[in-house]
Chain A
Amino acid sequence: MITGAEQLSCQELVELVTSYLEGALPAADRERFDAHIATCDGCDRYLDQMRATIRLTGALRPADLAPNEERKLLAAFADWKAH
């Protein structure tokens, strides 16, 4: 995934954020990631913004089916029950 022992660039780091948050980075890559954000304001902020994005998505309410769809389904249920 990351070649060589050199430091991560910011452009590489932004592609690893989800793997980092998922705990899916190999230990060596995780260390480089941590070392990078410790000294890079831009990437530290970027990581915070990805976390905020996840929180905001979690604050949305799931959209429901249109009410007439739900009525149709309950009618199907009643039909099924009758058989």
Chain B
Amino acid sequence: MDDTAAIAGLRARDERVFAELMRMYNASLLRVAQIYVATRAVAEDVVQETWIGVLNGIDRFEGRSSLKTWIFRILTNIAKTRGQRERRTVPLSSLERPDGVPEPAVDPDRFLPLDHERAPGHWAAKPEPWPEERLLAQETLGVVEAAIETLPPAQRAVISLRDLEGWSAEETRNALEITETNQRVLLHRARSKVRQALEDYFTEGG
């Protein structure tokens, strides 16, 4: 469904169009809302308020941005207001300043020390191959899902939008109102941790 059809459908009060948009965006909206508010229940409220905002605003929507960007902007505004009311400021600062706390992609102990004579910073314990036949097993997907669920909310939102929903870097950056660099740092940390979770799983299960 393209934007023109979706906007026309909403303006015509077509419930099927509304239901389809919900199915397309609810999961992403929920993940982004969770950056700003403490609980899933509040995030679900925020998503609900967002849709009401979308319905109330659709007749005045001028199409200067894509429908998706507009919907996520409404969500972000509502979620930020709710988050401030809850005095939840830590995740916000982690969105704005992802460099605040260094998080190496790989445990430094996996590398030779930097004063090593021959190969400083080279793998001391390099990654072992993963079993191809287990890669697409349902259990493996469960490991990926569980790893994503344990990420800090900003990292979880970015990896969900980019790698799960297949959004572009630019769409993701616009929806979250973050810089290109921050988007990339958050994505890098998220992917690195999910890779590590897979490695742990394949090594233990080995």
B127 touches A42 (CB 8 A): yes
Residue from A49, A53, A56, A70 whose CB has the most chain B CB atoms within 10 Å: A53
Could you tell me if B106 and A14 are in contact, using CB atoms closer than 8 angstroms?
yes
Assuming the contacts A45-B127, A66-B44, asked whether A9 and B51 have C-beta atoms less than 8 A apart, the reply is no
Give the B-binding residues of A (Cβ under 8 A). 9-12, 14-15, 17-19, 22, 24, 40-43, 45-46, 49-50, 52-54, 56-60, 62-66, 69-70, 72-74, 76-78, 80-81
Q: Which applies to chain A's interface (DSSP): helix, strand, loop or mixed?
A: helix
Enumerate chain B interface residues (CB-CB to A < 8 A).
Answer: 13, 15, 18-19, 22-23, 26-28, 30, 44, 47-48, 51-52, 55-56, 104-106, 108, 111, 114, 119-123, 126-127, 129-130, 135-136, 140-141, 144-145, 148, 159-160, 163-166, 169, 180, 184, 187-188, 191-192, 194-195, 198-199
Interface pair B130/A41, CB less than 8 Å apart: no
Contacts of B169 in A (CB 8 A): 22
Q: Could you tell me if B27 and A18 are in contact, using CB atoms closer than 8 angstroms? A: no
Collect the chain B residues with CB atoms within 8 Å of residue A78's CB. 15
A-B interface pairs (CB < 8 A), number: 141
